[in-house]
Amino acid sequence: MHTQHNGNSAASFSFQRNVAIIGILLFLLKLFAWYLTNSDAVFSDAMESIVNIIAAFMGLYSLYLAAKPKDYEHPYGHGKVEFVTSGVEGALIIFAGILIIIEAVKSLLHGNVPKDLDYGMLLIAATAIINYLLGYFSIQKGIAENSLVLQSSGKHLQSDTLTTAGVVISMILVYFTRLNWIDAAVAAFFGGYIIFVGYRIIRSALSGIMDEADPGMLKEVADFLEKNRRPTWIDVHNMRIQQHGSGLHIDAHLTLPYYLQLKDAHREMEELIVMIAEVNSRSIEFNFHMDDCKPFSCEICMLENCPVRQQEFKQKITWDAVTISQPKKHNQDR
């Protein structure tokens, strides 16, 4: 067992708190723009900002829980709460998209005459720029600290930026053409887009909750092991990678020569674990199981001058995402 820790949770919490505060200010600014313009599209954009605020505070709560240490009832920690809150945030984004489409349809059916669009455009454009920058920095912070909450929050803010940009475009077109239906049509289009964004966030959250295999992550680990493998590491198999918030839990089986003393075998396993941990910035908990080699292992064992070899070496098993996740020892069925 080996665990690598990092101290990014406090920074993530502080950043998300700032996102929530800025979200409230932007919402108030959009409400004022709606008051000036009487635009249904602006009103829909303001209503979407409510979702931003709710999502930001949900993100704060999930980061607080994810940072709590393991306890008797949660032996793997509280990190998976990030997937739950990200899934709820995705659902809220979809709700906002539906709300925008509904308001757009109402405007198309009943008509609405916006006013003072010049001042309104400036205010809404300012909120779009702030939202985009906030979303960009949130995504970058989330990637750097492996926080799904910050990444999904950033995507949400950027999707809100696109919606707001659509509102600005529609206001410009309506201002110059006096075709009021353009406002509602553009809003409906971007409402459909953010529904798609919400679906993708929910899909990502569900994959984490259900511990869906990540071929890219497995490939990254496999490539590193293949590049740095030692002859005594006869086989690696049954590797499983779970994500818990910003951290990982890795299970695997390592086949070693059966004649090694326990302390030597444990040292080999520990060195492999430390190598993986040192090249990864994430907090990782390892649970590796040592297997002793069997006669069928000789065919894939690259250890030269093995004193107990019973069969000739036949082939090298290249470690990749498929081979290291195989449940049984390689060549076991032969």
Backbone angles phi, psi at 243, to 5 degrees: -105, 130
CB neighbour class for 183 (10 Å; exposed up to 12, middle 13-18, buried from 19): buried
Is residue 333 assigned to a domain?
no
Q: Which domain holds residue 263?
A: 215-300
One domain, residues 170 and 200: yes
One domain, residues 198 and 248: no
Boundary of a domain, candidates 161, 194, 209: 209
Is residue 316 assigned to a domain?
no
One domain, residues 157 and 249: no
One domain, residues 56 and 185: yes
For the segment 309-326, what is each residue's pLDDT rounded down to a tens digit? 988 888 898 999 888 888
CA distance 10 to 282: 15
One domain, residues 106 and 198: yes
CATH number for position 256: 3.30.70.1350
One domain, residues 113 and 136: yes
Boundary of a domain, candidates 189, 209, 229: 209
For the segment 64-116, what is each residue's pLDDT rounded down to a tens digit? 766 666 666 665 665 666 677 778 878 888 888 888 788 788 878 877 777 88
Is residue 79 assigned to a domain?
yes
One domain, residues 86 and 110: yes
Are 197 and 93 in contact, with CB atoms under 8 Å apart?
A: yes
Pick from 36, 32, 60: nearest CA to 46:
32
| Each residue's pLDDT expressed in tens, for the chain with a length of 334 residues | 444 444 455 667 777 778 788 888 888 998 899 888 888 778 777 877 777 777 777 767 766 766 666 666 665 665 666 677 778 878 888 888 888 788 788 878 877 777 888 888 899 899 989 989 988 988 888 888 777 667 877 887 887 787 788 788 888 888 888 888 887 787 788 788 878 878 888 887 777 666 555 677 788 888 888 999 999 999 999 888 877 655 677 889 999 999 999 999 999 999 988 888 887 766 777 888 899 999 998 999 988 888 899 888 888 989 998 888 888 888 766 5
One domain, residues 172 and 231: no
Boundary of a domain, candidates 174, 209, 244: 209
Is residue 325 assigned to a domain?
no
- Two tokens at 138? 């949130």
One domain, residues 186 and 223: no
Is residue 317 assigned to a domain?
no
Is residue 57 assigned to a domain?
yes
Is residue 327 assigned to a domain?
no
One domain, residues 185 and 85: yes
Is residue 320 assigned to a domain?
no
One domain, residues 249 and 288: yes
Q: Which residues neighbour 110 within 8 Å (Cβ) at sequence distance 6 or greater?
A: none
